[in-house]
Structure 1
């Protein structure tokens, strides 16, 4: 991985020393990784494609972000691709990995190019990475240009206009500035209130949630199999709550009997949770 911008030249020289795998070698390593999780096989696949990452990252140098960081993010995408690669699909890793590498670099650029996110939807991301190269000159887009770009990228004309405005807008620092007299000037950050809970409160909430979840699991273990099944089917399933009549048919009893079992089980759960506090 890339440690810093200062080591970039050394890193680029180093990765050139790793040999490119033949199709047979790539298939063998990928099969070993898929079948047995062989980490050495994963390493061989990764290092043989580091030059691909560096080449792709070079194409995003116009965003003013450190090249070493772009390569670092691209390497993360490469590792994700290697983990998901299936050699039996008849596609070379280089073709499969390009999507993951670019996706990771795109995500990094969107997160860091401006403090306030510029592109969040799919259409905005498409415009973010293509609009500047599609503009002819530095003048504002004409209505014809807007329509042409919208058609080519399959987005709405108003989305093209909005992205042009965002890309041409000036950034405002959130941090406090100091004027010529040495006085601190109020900046936007002075008016931004964090309405979220404090870290201590957040930690306490997470701990309470964990204890409640753990307590519920222990309480369920105190029930007999039928009572536990009824409660889970009625309240603790993500696939849809079972009705009383459905459970009645499953256990060959009346719906009223299932309601009684449910009510009694709920009382036991409540008592156990109160005693555990």
Structure 2
């Protein structure tokens, strides 16, 4: 049994993708690798699947690097570095090679396209916006299909919204909401203020209030809590001795007593204990509610 194929980033001896020159070198390198014939591909895939031949896996991956570049160019309109898209696509290619079955009768490129695009989709959704615009499977499908539609239409009018909703099988309101998210832009929360008398700044830190740390609200909350505790204690003290013991044993003790425990203690039924507890709780709630 040979070594197991493990998918990792940056494991292939290929040129770096860190800059433009690196990208050009990478593309030339990928295009210089001969494409495999169907027979060659099947032989390599069989060696990988049945003999765990890592060299065969590498040969399959290297021969399809050019296809990853082609797919990555199709996603270039999202404003993300194509080098990053290629790297993510290569991860998808490696996953596809690991799962490819030569006995199915399809070429690797047809099988791998799903895995390559899936990795690129995930990368785009994670990085296209600081605030994630699509989290569910249906939202992701709508995101990519709607972006494709907007390339044809631009801003959608009411008729186009209805057409897109019908085509994608979603509600028109869902299309409108996704379009709003897609056309929103990211803004720094506390961007530096430009110097000059006429300079204006509109970043969120200047107009968004943090109500959670409002001193007035904190004092009011603390005062209300103290009054509630005092009122609750007074209400408990006003209960008869048995009802008070039931409430304290059932709600305020570290080791809470059961209905049967209290029934045995007072030699009454568990149902009677429950009735006393319910009556006492009603009086406590009524006392606290009048604050």
Interval containing the TM-score (normalised by the shorter chain): 0.5 to 0.7
1:239-267 residue CA offsets vs partner (Å, 9 max, x unmatched) = xxxxxxxxxxxxxxxxxxxxxxxxxxxxx
| Aligned residue runs from structure 1 range 1-277, under 5 A | 2-6=16-20, 7-135=22-150, 136-139=152-155, 141-174=156-189, 176-181=190-195, 187=205
How far off its partner does 1:34 sit?
0.8
The normalised TM-score by structure 2 is 0.60
In our comparison, the structure showing a higher alpha carbon Rg is: 2
Between the aligned partners of 2:81 and 2:146, the Cα distance in structure 1 is 22
Between the aligned partners of 1:93 and 1:178, the Cα distance in structure 2 is 51
Please state whether the residue corresponding to 2:95 is helix, strand or coil: helix
Structure 2, gaps ≥5 residues long: 1-13, 213-291
How far off its partner does 1:88 sit?
0.5
Change (3 A) 1:154 1:173: same
Contact 1:81 1:96 in 2 (8 A): yes
1:1-49 residue CA offsets vs partner (Å, 9 max, x unmatched) = 5431330001000111111111111111111111121110000100000
Between the aligned partners of 1:178 and 1:26, the Cα distance in structure 2 is 57
1:95-122 residue CA offsets vs partner (Å, 9 max, x unmatched) = 0000000000000000011111111112
The normalised TM-score by structure 1 is 0.63
Contact 1:46 1:79 in 2 (8 A): yes
Contact 1:5 1:66 in 2 (8 A): no
Q: Which residue of 1 aligns with 2:246?
A: none
1:212-271 residue CA offsets vs partner (Å, 9 max, x unmatched) = xxxxxxxxxxxxxxxxxxxxxxxxxxxxxxxxxxxxxxxxxxxxxxxxxxxxxxxxxxxx
CA RMSD in angstroms comes to 2.5
Contact 1:57 1:70 in 2 (8 A): yes
Between the aligned partners of 1:147 and 1:44, the Cα distance in structure 2 is 48
Change (3 A) 1:190 1:99: farther
